[in-house]
């Protein structure tokens, strides 16, 4: 059994995806040390996973709800989107797949000219469709009600018709060996088709993805040409980028 405060902390994590020591201490009018003990307790029960300055909902099987994913690292995702868009020229063709970070890229691309965007993300299509200088093509297939992603074999077959300049892909987790991981095997199949049919692959992922895990393998970092993140704390990942000539862009390092 959990105390009322611990239950409320877990519920906050479910709603927002992430909680911080500072915010919780203020909310419950207790010391940061007390909150750290609470978080350690919840982590020992595998309900939360510790992060720098707080904790996230612990789940290696089921993804966080879409609204919660939107709230996590929202400023960092905006910066990642802008840095990625700066590397996409006008008159380019590109895939944009499912994810709140890829949606941030889509928003940052709205002032580009002559783009052809193929996507299996209803949110991306809705965001970009009103801009006449951008041609939006949406994949067919089953629509996932939780986040507007289009998944399944029909979407895979549709993607295989194209060969584009850039693929903008997200991931739910990155392990220490460089595996890119996700939760829905149907979504993973579409992502793999996207990677296989692009001349250059751009991975966009904020640094919380190093703190999470997921059960289904999308690809390996070695299949990526550019990795855009707010910060890369993992030495193994930095080493892989250097050895495999992957451009590592850290938006927190920009001046």
For 26-121, list the strands marked E by DSSP.
48-51, 54-57, 93-96, 115-119
CATH 3.40.50.300 fits 4-58, yes or no: no
Model pLDDT for residues 40-83, shown as the tens digit of each residue: 998 887 778 888 899 887 665 455 666 666 667 788 999 999 99
Distance CA 117, CA 96 (A): 7
Q: What is the mean pLDDT of residues 10-20?
A: 82
Residue, of 158 and 15, whose pLDDT is higher: 158
Predicted model pTM: 0.80
Model pLDDT for residues 144-183, shown as the tens digit of each residue: 888 899 999 999 999 999 999 999 999 999 999 999 999 8
Residue 147 DSSP SS3: coil
Q: Do 4-58 and 72-253 have matching folds? A: no
Q: What is the mean pLDDT of residues 86-94?
A: 98
The structural domains of the chain, with segments of one domain joined by +, span 4-58, 72-253
Query: Looking at residue 225, what DSSP letter applies?
Result: S
Q: List, in order, residues 6 or more apart from 159 with CB less than 8 Å away.
A: 95, 118, 120, 139, 190, 193, 194, 197
Nearest to 47 by CA among 14, 4, 25, 24: 14
Q: Residue 21: pLDDT above 90? A: yes
Q: What is the mean pLDDT of residues 98-113?
A: 96
- Domain at 72-253, CATH from 3.40.50.1360, 3.40.50.2300, 1.10.150.130, 3.40.1350.10: 3.40.50.1360
Mean pLDDT over the full length of the chain: 91
Four-point Cα dihedral 158, 162, 167, 171, nearest 10: 20
């Amino acid at each position: 059994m959990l105390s009322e405060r611990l239950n409320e902390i877990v519920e906050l994590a479910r709603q927002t995806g992430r909680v911080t020591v500072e915010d919780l201490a203020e909310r419950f009018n207790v010391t940061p040390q007390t909150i750290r003990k609470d978080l350690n307790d919840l982590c020992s029960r595998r309900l939360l996973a510790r992060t720098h300055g707080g904790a996230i909902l612990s789940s290696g099987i089921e993804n966080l709800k879409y609204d919660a994913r939107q709230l996590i690292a929202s400023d960092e995702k905006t910066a990642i989107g802008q840095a990625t868009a700066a590397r996409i020229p006008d008159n380019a063709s590109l895939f944009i797949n499912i994810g709140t970070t890829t949606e941030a890229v889509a928003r940052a691309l709205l002032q580009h000219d002559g783009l052809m965007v193929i996507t299996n993300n209803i949110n991306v299509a809705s965001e970009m469709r009103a801009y006449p200088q951008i041609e939006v093509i949406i994949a067919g297939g089953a629509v996932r009600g939780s986040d507007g992603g289009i998944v399944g074999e029909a979407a895979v077959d549709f993607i295989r018709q194209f060969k584009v300049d850039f693929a903008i892909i997200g991931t739910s987790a990155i392990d220490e060996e460089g595996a890119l991981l996700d939760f829905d095997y149907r979504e993973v199949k579409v992502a793999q088709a996207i990677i296989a049919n692009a001349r250059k692959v751009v991975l966009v992922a904020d640094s919380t993805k190093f703190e999470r895990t997921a059960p289904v393998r999308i690809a390996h970092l070695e299949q990526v040409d550019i990795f855009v993140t707010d910060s890369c704390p993992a030495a193994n990942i930095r080493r892989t980028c250097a050895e495999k000539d992957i451009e590592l862009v850290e938006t927190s390092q920009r001046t």
